[in-house]
Amino acid sequence: MIVDGHNDLVLRSWRELPVWQMDLDAAHEAGFAGGFFALYVPSPSPVEPTTAHYAMPLADPIPTADAARVALELYDTLRSLPVAIATSPGDFQPDRVTAIVHLEGADPLAPDLSDLETWYERGLRSVGLVWSRPNAFAEGVPFRFPSSPDTGRGLTPAGVELVRACNRLGVLVDLSHLNEAGFWDVARISQAPLVATHSNAHALCRSTRNLTDQQLDAIGESGGMVGVNFAVTFLREDGAQAPDETPLAEIVRHVDYIAERIGIDHVGFGSDFDGAVVPTELGGVAGLPKLVDALRDAGYDGAAVAKVTHENWLRVLGETWR
Ligand code: ZN
């Protein structure tokens, strides 16, 4: 059984685009039991970098009312998919796909948090404070390579209150896309295990979207979790968009690094299916068994494979949710 930290099937469905990496029929056969399904209010698509070295500008903020309107449409799209909604780790079952309602960017939430409980009642159980843009709560990293993730200001007072409210409600706070100042603010404030649902090791790929060794250490010490992102540009040492020349071993390399640094209990998958270009050898959700085989070939025994594929995610969800 595989539980995963991030996919963008909802955005793709909302845009009425054809099936890409997240084929739900193939998911069943591949052992994909679900995971975090992002509600992501899109920014206008930036110009794709043509070189491995790039420094894209930070995306513009989206007004709360606009973001809230789109987020509700995305939520309705999620509810129209043939998936169960998770409110407890036991909801993940091998015979179906189960979705964690995840806001990728708190932009749709009122800065006074007056609608947070309504979202909780809709099933919201995970909030990424930011996507790669500023909002009322925090600021995300711009896409840059090579670059440190220390790119801007930390949490606003509203952001501090959002973290506290999520702790109270038992909603997971996701640190992926957050800049380093914001990360350390959350690390100071949050009572819950620290989680980055779809980010990699900065020591191996110097993208702003990846986590420094110090950030990894803090996640490990908190009992938290890193979901390894399959995006080619966050995996490769040269940061290049080269899916045909990126073997599955590049994903295993990041799993290895994080497991060696902070322990096998603190790493899992955060595919970014339907949101990112992944190694051609993997393709999409149907290729997950090949990735599990690659872990076995790299020396992971049955217990280690179970932790990476689902047990770690289920443990962290159990420790975070109420
Ligand atoms: Zn993302």
Q: What is the mean pLDDT of residues 33-57?
A: 87
% of the chain with per-residue pLDDT over 90: 96
- 2-320 architecture in CATH? Alpha-Beta Barrel (3.20)
CA of 142 from ligand 1 middle (Å) equals 12
- Return the ∠ at Cα 201 (arms to 199 and 207), rounded to 5°: 75
> How far, CA to CA in Å, does 140 sit from each of 104, 109, 132, 143, 169?
11, 16, 4, 9, 24
pLDDT for position 47: 66
Mean pLDDT, the chain, rounded, equals: 97
CA of 191 to the centre of ligand 1 (A): 24
Ligand 1 centroid from CA 176, angstroms: 7
Taking residues 193-216, report their average pLDDT.
98
Q: Where are the domains of the chain?
A: 2-320
The answer, yes or no, to whether residue 82 has pLDDT greater than 90, is yes
pLDDT score for 295: 98
Per-residue pLDDT averaged across 182-203, rounded?
Answer: 98
Q: Residue 50: pLDDT band by 50, 70, 90 thresholds?
A: low
Here the tokens at position 292 are: 């599990």
Task: Give the side-chain half-sphere CA count within 13 A for 294.
Answer: 18
In sequence order, the 6+-apart residues with CB closer than 8 A to the CB of 70 are 41, 42, 108
Which of the four pLDDT bands, split at 50, 70 and 90, describes residue 49?
low
When pLDDT is averaged across residues 156-172 and rounded to a whole number, the result is 98
Q: Report the pLDDT averaged over residues 57-68.
A: 96
The residue-averaged pLDDT of 227-241 equals: 97
Q: How far is the CA of 222 from the centre of ligand 1 (A)?
A: 22
Mean pLDDT of 61-75: 98
Tokens for 154?
Answer: 């930390």
Tens-digit pLDDT profile for residues 246-272: 999 999 999 999 999 999 999 999 999
Report the separation in Å between the CA atom of 157 and the middle of ligand 1, taken as the mean of its atom positions: 24
The per-residue pLDDT for 45 is: 78
Residue 52 pLDDT: 74
Cα 177 to middle of ligand 1, angstroms: 7
Among candidate residues 199, 209, 201, the one with its CA nearest the CA of residue 144: 209
Prediction pTM value = 0.97
Element (H, E) at 99: strand 98-104
